Every structure is written in structure tokens, then in C-alpha cells.
Structure 1
Amino acid sequence: MNSLVVVAHPDPNSLTHHVAHATADALRTSGGGVDIADLATEGFDPRFDSSDLDFYRGTGSTPEAVAAEQQRIDRADHLILVFPMYWWSFPALLKGWIDRVFVNGWAFDYTPGSSFEKKLERLTIHLVPVAGDDADSFERHRIHDAIRIQMEHGIIEYCGATVGSTTILHGSDTKSRDTLADDVHSVATTVAGRVLTKEPADCDALRCASCIPEPDFMAYPATSFL
């Protein structure tokens, strides 16, 4: 089983990066193949520019950078998106990656007047947001509903992929480093457990985390919390 972990944060010492690498470590411990796509370090351009528009209009070919990302996803059984939440949504880097990569002809097939075909049925997608707000704030503002509508239904299910799990690390701006290190460990093992056992998104996190061996990491002291 192969997983692609996509991380969208410009600071390699950020909490977001620590979550991404801890998750990759936990997946490797479980015996799976793992690739990490560091969008900022790799210099992925999130702008939907004229070449993307030409392809959308049927007057151009798939941009080379987009085709390379699609090929990486094609090699994966599980896609894991690790990102800081900005305005309760994706950061621009990840949103632009989705805009450019998950396009008609690859993620789905649609021609006006004909049937609609979802093309990512083989793929399971997991969301791992890193949020400054606490869980109570998410409940008060119904952010879980927003994630469900915009991200899970509007993108993942629209393309036919399976929603594997949404595992949120809360309180990135207020918790102590020791608490955050524990949270990184918990999130990583939970996500890896869901990948390994293919549990549904509402499965019990502790039971999922116990499905894999203890990974060889314990603390990730981040210099930038988010």
C-alpha cells in the first residue's frame, strides 16, 4: 500500500511539517510505501494561469508541473493532505495545487450534454488540518460542517475518491510544546492506523492508533507552532 503525504507550509520547522513527517514515519513503521510532496520546497506554483486555462478550454495540453503531480497521485493508494488552516480553509498553496491538479479529464470527466464520470474511485484521501482554534470553537462555528461540505463532499467525493479520515490538531497557538509533541504523535498514529485498517472516518481513534506498531519517534519540537 502506497501513500502520498502532501504538506503545504513554507517553514520546514513548522508544526505542520512535523505532523507530516511524523505521519510518514508512522506509515513506514506499518510497512507501507510513503512519498512526501513538500509543495513549498519543491516550488509548486499554485496560480491557475493561462496554460491551465488553455487546457481547460481544450486548446492546450496539461502543464508539465501538473502532469507530474497527477502521476505522483496515480502511484498512491492513499493521499494525505497536511496543512495549516487559514480562515478555516486550505492555505492558498494547497488550494492552488488542488485547483490545478484535480482537473477535468483526470479527476473527473465531464462534457456538456454527456454523462459525468468520477475518476478517482481507487483513491482514499485523508485530511490533516493544523488549527489554532480549539475544538469548542470549531463546534460553535460549525467548522466541521464547512469541512464536510467544502472539502470532503465538494472535492473528495465529487471526484469519486473515498473520504478516509479528517484528523484535526487543535490549539497550535496556545498549547505547550510538550502537549503539541503528544498531539503530533496521536495524530500521526491515528492517521496511519486508518490508512492501514481502512477504517471509516468515524472510527474510534484509539482503536485505530493501536492497530500499528509504535513508531520510532516521540517528540517534534517545532520552532513555529502553526
Structure 2
Amino acid sequence: MHALIVTAHPDHHSHTHTIVSQVAQGIAAGGHSYEIADLAAEQFDPRFNQADFEQFKRAAPSPADVVAEQQRLDRADALVLVYPIYWWSFPAQLKGWIDRVFTQGWAYEDDGQHVVKKLGKLQVHLLALGAASQRTYLRRGYFSSMRTQIDVGIFDYCGAPVMTSELLLPGDINYPDAHFELAHQLGQRLFNVKEPA
């Protein structure tokens, strides 16, 4: 089995990149393969541009950089997103990657009356890294908002089952080692995770 790990953080010494590394090591230890899409290092352009809009209207094919990302996803059995929370959401580069890559015709088909979900084979695992306290996230309803916006609004719309949806915070017991251990374990058991009820 093969996983695509996607992240968007400019600092390679960040907690985010260490989590990515631990997930990758776990996947390898579990006998599977992986590819890392480091959007910041690769300078992926997140701007939804005229060419993307033309594709959305079905007036033109997807731009080459979008097709390359879709091919990465087509090779994957699982998608792992590891990201810092910026302003209660994805970093802009990661959100732009989703905006541009999860296109009509490839991720879903919407004829105005019916939606065909096309990514049913792609398991999704989300690791969101926050900086505030758990109390703050709970008080503001962030985790339920994240699940509505991301798990349901993006991935369920495309039929991709979200198998893992974790919020990792600096106030967690045994931080940061507990995060590294969780990430490694997730990687190791990535293809054995059952869909939440």
C-alpha cells in the first residue's frame, strides 16, 4: 500500500515536519511505501487562477501542476495531511492545494442535481497541530467546526473516508514526545485503521 503525506510549513525544523517524519517512518516500519508532498519546499502555487476556473467550467483541461498532484493522489491508497492551524484553518498553501487539485470531474461530479463522489478508495488521515490550549479549542467549538469544514465539507463531499482526525496541542501530556509516538504509530497502522462509526 502507498500513502501520500502532504504538508505546508516553511520551516523544516518545525514540529510539523517532525510529525511528518514520524508518520513516514511508521509507514515504512509497517512495510508500506510513501511519498511526501512538501508544498512549501516545492513552491506549489495555491492561487486558484483563470486556468483553474476554465477547468471548473469544463472549458479547458486542468493545468499541468494540478494534473501532477492528481497523479500523486491516484498512486496513493491513503492521504495524510499534517498541518499547523493558521487562523482556525489550513495554511493558505494547503487550502489552495485542495481548491486546485480536488476538481470537478476528478474528485467529484456535480451535474446540478446529483453529486457523484469519486474518491472512495482514498483513506484520509488528518493531523492538525494547534498552538492554543485544549480549553480554548473546546470553548470555541473548533474541533467540531474542523470536522464539519474539513472532514465533511471537503472529504465526504468527494467520498474519501476520514479514518483519523486528530488535534495535537502543546498542552497534551508528554508533549512533544507523545505527538511523535502517536504519529509513528499512526504511520505503522495506517492501513489497518477502521473507519470511525
- State TM-score, norm by structure 2: 0.93
Residue in structure 1 matched with residue 165 of structure 2 by the alignment: 166
- Work out which of the residue numbers 151, 175, 179 in structure 2 matches 1:179: 175
Provide closer, same or farther for how the CA distance between residues 194 and 29 of structure 1 changes in structure 2, counting only shifts above 3 A. Answer: closer
Residue in structure 2 matched with residue 39 of structure 1 by the alignment: 39
For 1:186, the aligned partner's letter is E
Structure 1: 4+ residue segments shifted above 6 A: none
For 2:60, the aligned partner's letter is G
Distance 1:4 1:41 in 2: 16
Percent sequence identity over aligned pairs: 40
Residue in structure 2 matched with residue 22 of structure 1 by the alignment: 22
Residue in structure 2 matched with residue 87 of structure 1 by the alignment: 87
* 1:191 lines up with 2:186 in the alignment: yes
* Greater alpha carbon shift after TM alignment, 40-49 vs 54-63: 54-63
The 8 Å contact of residues 194 and 200 in structure 1, kept in 2 or not, is answered as: no
Q: Deviations over 1:33-92 (max 9, x none)?
A: 111000011110000011101111222111000000000001111100011001111110
- State TM-score, norm by structure 1: 0.82
Post-superposition shift, 1:132?
0.1
Provide closer, same or farther for how the CA distance between residues 135 and 190 of structure 1 changes in structure 2, counting only shifts above 3 A. Answer: farther
- The higher radius of gyration belongs to 1
For 1:150, the aligned partner's letter is Q
For 1:79, the aligned partner's letter is L
For 1:51, the aligned partner's letter is A
Distance 2:164 2:88 in 1: 17
Post-superposition shift, 1:193?
4.7
Distance 2:67 2:150 in 1: 22
The 8 Å contact of residues 23 and 186 in structure 2, kept in 1 or not, is answered as: yes
For 1:154, the aligned partner's letter is G
Distance 1:201 1:46 in 2: 31
Residue in structure 2 matched with residue 102 of structure 1 by the alignment: 102
CA RMSD of aligned residues (A): 1.8
The 8 Å contact of residues 28 and 188 in structure 2, kept in 1 or not, is answered as: no
The 8 Å contact of residues 106 and 119 in structure 1, kept in 2 or not, is answered as: yes
Q: Deviations over 1:180-208 (max 9, x none)?
A: 1x133223134225513223347xxxxxx
Matches within 5 A, 1:34-73: 34-73=34-73
The 8 Å contact of residues 23 and 184 in structure 2, kept in 1 or not, is answered as: yes
Q: Secondary structure at the match of 2:127?
A: strand
Post-superposition shift, 1:136?
2.2
Q: Deviations over 1:1-54 (max 9, x none)?
A: 111100111111111111111111111111111110000111100000111011
Distance 1:153 1:160 in 2: 9
For 2:178, the aligned partner's letter is D
Distance 1:192 1:159 in 2: 23
Distance 1:167 1:190 in 2: 13
